[in-house]
């Protein structure tokens, strides 16, 4: 009998090698419902997005990309510390815009990870044979990809924020200055995470094939980025205003500008005649449609 | 209280395939074998009982709950082991079963404890900390069983639990199912296309074919019915059959074997004597086990008193 197959004998019988099987025990404890299961799936999925509890190779992409996203913030701090605050290469307003390719690759790698495997390995049959409803699964996975993106997008912003306070000569004054930026520091990652996460997850959920999902999301963000810059610079009128929106970061940047202020000069938003609220409307529509597609997909999927 | 009651349960898939056809049955607690050929409607029935599939018409009541309206409450009380693979490769058995316990509503710490318990019961030890991708088919089947048991369900639905197992693994899985039913006291439905397996673990047998109930009976009563001796001889099976018929036995020829109805001990002696008298080489003499074919060759569905 293997060593852990039973409980050891009572302490008084130290030395006695007798091991006995205590038999099957029922469970009379707490049984929590759907909300608990959904929360547990959310937590497990955020861990999955960072490869926690999984082999090392599952950690390479998320941690590597998170590090790449943070390094420029750290470098910026070093420049600020030596050359003064006016020489900062990044602001809170444009950090996510500047690093959009990194976040695009992160979500292309990790959104299919969160939903593809459950379809590929048919784990969904187990999830749906428990108390949770199908919409609960969507809520948990959506929450997880948004949560993971908030962490990855928010971490460099936080590094920038804390760093700028600590490197300032006048600590109290710096806290006062930087506190005004807090809505941008918190709001910008949250807004981008919701938009990027919902859209990417909706794409990823439609195929169990990881390569297809990752390819489609990469194409959206990377090709979209190049295309939007070209269209924005080379065309005019309607095409110049709406064409760049093939890149999700364009309507998200416009929405950020609308809600939190701070125009990014490199963004097509700066060259467009559209009112900022239009970007907000596009963001709202895309997020609602993405969530609707996810719910529709998981209602129909057979297990 | 009946474990399961269905009334006129019918499921037609889009495309016209009828998986279940007016299935009406009552199942009492125990280890219930659900037998049928592939495509007979076993998996469809299990999925309807779980509230995962909507029946086209008819009703199903599981543990006194309506499967269509209270699917979520039924699923909280039921453990389900699907026929197909359903395990993620990159996590360990411990991590996965704990996670599934939480999905069934157990708090994390309680789920950890239960996971350690059930993995020990199904016979997974040191390997439970390694990623599932490295497991053998037998180990994977054990993990699938463990995740169905982790929340201490009142009813266990096992779909082809011995699929892909070698003879030794099959034996262990059947022993495990017997223990779960008898020692753990959990009502269990085992769907299988192998009648021999059901005979060995089940207390009650449900045979379905093409979505119809063929028979519902205690396993013991079913095996009694096959009081048939199978006699295999080298040559001259026809002569033996003739001799036995002449001796007043119901004997018929089936290829090289003679099938003899044997309701008591007497036919054994007669067979022995006839073989000696005819000078035949006896290859095999055995009590014929009930086989799926016997069950399915019966003309009309028979429902014995359970």
8 A C-beta contact, residue A224 and residue A289: no
Cα of A1 to nearest chain B Cα, Å: 10
| Intervals of chain B under pLDDT 70 | 1, 221-226, 288-306
Percent of chain A surpassing pLDDT 70: 92
Q: Does A5 touch chain B (CB under 8 A)?
A: yes
Q: Does A37 touch chain B (CB under 8 A)?
A: yes
Give strand ranges (E) for chain A.
7-8, 19-20
Q: Which long-range contacts (CB under 8 A, 24 or more apart) does A74-77 make?
A: A74/A159, A74/A163, A76/A160, A77/A159, A77/A160, A77/A163, A77/A164, A77/A167
Is residue A221 pLDDT above 90, yes or no?
yes
A87: tokens are 């020489």
HSE-CB of A10 using CA atoms within 13 angstroms: 1
Chain A residues with CB-CB distance to B125 below 8 A: 2, 4-5
pLDDT of residue B222: 63
Distance between CA atoms of A92 and A183, rounded to whole angstroms?
10
Q: How far apart are CA B186 and CA B154, in angstroms?
A: 6
State the DSSP H helix or E strand holding residue A219, giving kind and residue range, or none if neither.
none
For tokens 């299961």, name the residue.
Answer: A37
From chain A, the residues in CB contact with B46 under 8 A are: none
Cα–chain-centroid distance for residue A42?
12
Residue B131: predicted pLDDT? 94
| Chain A residues within an 8 Å CB radius of B102 | 36-37, 40-41, 44
pLDDT for the residue B234: 83
Q: What is the pLDDT of residues A33-84, one digit of tens each?
A: 889 999 999 999 999 999 998 999 999 999 999 999 999 999 888 887 787 7
Structure tokens that stand for B14 in this block: 């889009």
- Of the candidates A220, A298, A235, A233, the one whose C-alpha atom is nearest the C-alpha of residue A270 is A233
Residue in B with minimal Cα distance to A127: B103
Prediction pTM value: 0.83
- A1 has a pLDDT exceeding 70: no
Q: Beta B78-81 vs B155-159: how paired, if at all?
A: parallel
Distance from CA of A6 to the nearest CA of B (A): 8
What's the CA gap between B217 and B306, in Å, rounded?
5
A47: enclosing H helix or E strand:
helix A34-49
Q: What is the pLDDT of residue B103?
A: 95
Does position A85 have pLDDT exceeding 70, yes or no? Answer: no
- Interface confidence, given as ipTM, is 0.85
Beta strands in chain B (DSSP E): 4-12, 18-27, 31-35, 57-62, 65-66, 78-81, 155-159, 187-192, 204-209, 212-218, 228-233, 251-254, 257-261, 282-287
Q: What residues are paired with B7 via a beta bridge?
A: B59
- How far is residue A273 from each of residues A205, A261, B48, B200, measured CA to CA in Å? 35, 16, 57, 78
The residue assigned the tokens 């060995």 is B200
Residue A139 at interface with chain B, using a CB cutoff of 8 Å: no
A132 and chain B in contact, CB less than 8 A: yes
**CA dist A284 → A186, A195, B74, B131 (Å):** 19, 8, 38, 41
DSSP per-residue codes, B98-121: HHHHHHTT--HHHHHHHHHHHHHH
Number of H helices, E strands in chain A: 14, 2
The answer to whether A58 faces chain B, any CB pair under 8 Å, is yes
pLDDT at residue A186, as a whole number? 95
Residues A104-117, mean pLDDT to the nearest whole number: 96
If you ran DSSP here, which 8-state letter would residue B285 be given? E
A54 → closest Cβ in B52, B91, B105:
B91
Give the pLDDT of residue A36.
94
Inter-chain contact B72–A131, Cβ cutoff 8 Å?
yes
Cβ distance B52 to A44 less than 8 Å, yes or no, reads no
Chain B residue numbers touching A125 (CB-CB < 8 A): 80, 82, 84, 86
- Collect contacts of A180-186 with beta carbons under 8 A, ≥24 apart: A181/A92, A183/A260, A184/A92, A184/A93, A184/A260, A184/A261, A184/A262, A185/A92, A185/A154, A185/A157, A185/A158, A185/A160, A185/A161, A186/A154
pLDDT at B138: 92
Q: Is A136 on the interface with B (CB under 8 A)?
A: no
CB atoms within 10 A of CB B15: 5
Q: Which of A226, A242, A239 is nearest to A282 (CA)?
A: A242
Q: What's the pLDDT score for residue B291?
A: 55
Interhelix angle B266-278/B237-246, nearest 10 degrees:
130
- Smallest CA-to-CA distance from B166 within B130, B195, B133, B139 is with B139
Residue A10 DSSP code = P
Residue among A139, A120, A153, A123 nearest A40 (CA): A139
Give me the mean pLDDT over the A285-295 stretch.
98
Q: What is the pLDDT of residue B202?
A: 87
Please report the pLDDT score of residue B240 as a whole number. Answer: 87
Which pLDDT score is estimated for B266? 80
Nearest to B49 by CA among B11, B96, B89, B83: B11
Phi, psi of B75 (to 5 degrees): -60, -30
Strand B31-35: give its sheet, edge to edge: B78-81, B155-159, B187-192, B31-35, B204-209, B212-218
Strand partners, B78: B155
From the list A194, A189, A197, A187, the residue with the least C-alpha distance to A104 is A197
């Amino acid at each position: 009998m293997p060593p852990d197959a039973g409980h050891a004998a009572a302490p008084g019988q130290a030395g006695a090698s007798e091991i006995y099987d205590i038999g099957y025990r029922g469970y009379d404890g707490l049984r929590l419902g759907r909300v608990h299961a959904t929360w547990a799936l959310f937590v497990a999925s955020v861990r999955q997005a960072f490869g926690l509890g999984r082999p090392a190779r599952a950690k390479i992409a998320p941690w590597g990309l998170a590090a790449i996203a943070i390094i420029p913030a750290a470098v910026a701090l070093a420049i600020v510390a030596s050359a003064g605050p006016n020489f900062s290469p990044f602001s809170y307003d444009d950090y996510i815009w500047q690093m959009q390719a990194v976040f695009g690759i992160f979500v292309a790698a990790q959104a299919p990870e969160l939903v593809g495997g459950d379809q590929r390995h048919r784990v969904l049959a187990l999830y749906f044979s428990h108390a949770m409803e199908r919409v609960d699964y969507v809520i948990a996975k959506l929450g997880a990809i948004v949560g993971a993106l908030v962490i990855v997008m928010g971490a460099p912003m936080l590094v920038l924020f804390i760093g700028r306070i600590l490197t300032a000569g006048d600590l109290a004054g710096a806290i006062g200055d930087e506190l005004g930026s807090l809505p941008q520091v918190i709001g910008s990652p949250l807004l981008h995470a919701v938009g990027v996460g919902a859209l990417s997850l909706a794409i990823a959920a439609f195929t169990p094939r990881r390569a297809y999902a990752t390819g489609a999301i990469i194409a959206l963000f990377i090709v979209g980025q190049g295309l939007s810059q070209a269209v924005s610079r080379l065309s005019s009128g309607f095409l110049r205003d709406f064409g760049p929106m093939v890149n999700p970061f364009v309507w998200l940047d416009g929405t950020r500008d609308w809600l939190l202020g701070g125009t990014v000069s490199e963004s097509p938003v700066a060259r467009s005649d559209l009112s900022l609220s239009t970007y907000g409307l596009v963001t709202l529509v895309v997020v609602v449609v993405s969530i609707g597609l996810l719910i529709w997909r998981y209602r129909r999927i057979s297990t | 209280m009946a474990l399961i009651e269905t009334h006129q349960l019918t499921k037609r898939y889009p495309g016209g395939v009828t998986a279940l056809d007016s299935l009406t049955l009552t199942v009492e607690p125990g280890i219930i074998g659900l037998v049928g050929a592939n495509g007979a409607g076993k998996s469809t029935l299990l999925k309807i009982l779980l509230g995962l599939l909507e029946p086209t018409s008819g009703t199903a009541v599981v543990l006194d709950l309506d499967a269509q309206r209270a699917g979520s409450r039924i699923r909280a009380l039921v453990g389900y082991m699907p026929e197909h693979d359903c395990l993620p490769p990159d996590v360990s058995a411990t991590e996965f079963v704990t996670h599934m316990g939480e999905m069934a509503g157990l708090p994390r710490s309680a789920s950890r404890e239960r996971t350690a318990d059930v993995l020990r019961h199904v016979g997974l030890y040191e390997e439970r900390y390694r990623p599932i991708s490295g497991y053998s088919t037998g180990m994977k089947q054990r993990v699938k069983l463990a995740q169905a048991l982790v929340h201490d369900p009142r009813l266990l639905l096992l779909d082809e639990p011995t699929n892909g197992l070698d003879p030794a693994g099959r034996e262990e899985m059947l022993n495990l199912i017997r223990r779960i039913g008898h020692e753990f006291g959990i009502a269990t439905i085992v769907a299988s296309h192998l009648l021999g397996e059901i005979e060995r673990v089940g207390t009650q047998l449900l045979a379905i074919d093409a979505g119809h109930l063929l028979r519902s009976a205690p396993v013991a009563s079913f095996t009694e019915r096959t009081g048939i001796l199978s006699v295999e001889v080298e040559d001259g099976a026809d002569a033996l059959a003739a001799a036995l018929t002449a001796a007043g036995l119901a004997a018929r020829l089936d290829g090289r074997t003679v099938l003899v109805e044997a309701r008591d001990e007497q036919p054994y002696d007669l067979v022995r004597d006839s073989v000696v008298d005819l000078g035949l080489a006896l290859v095999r003499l055995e009590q014929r086990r009930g086989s799926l074919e016997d069950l399915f060759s019966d003309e009309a569905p028979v429902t014995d008193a359970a």
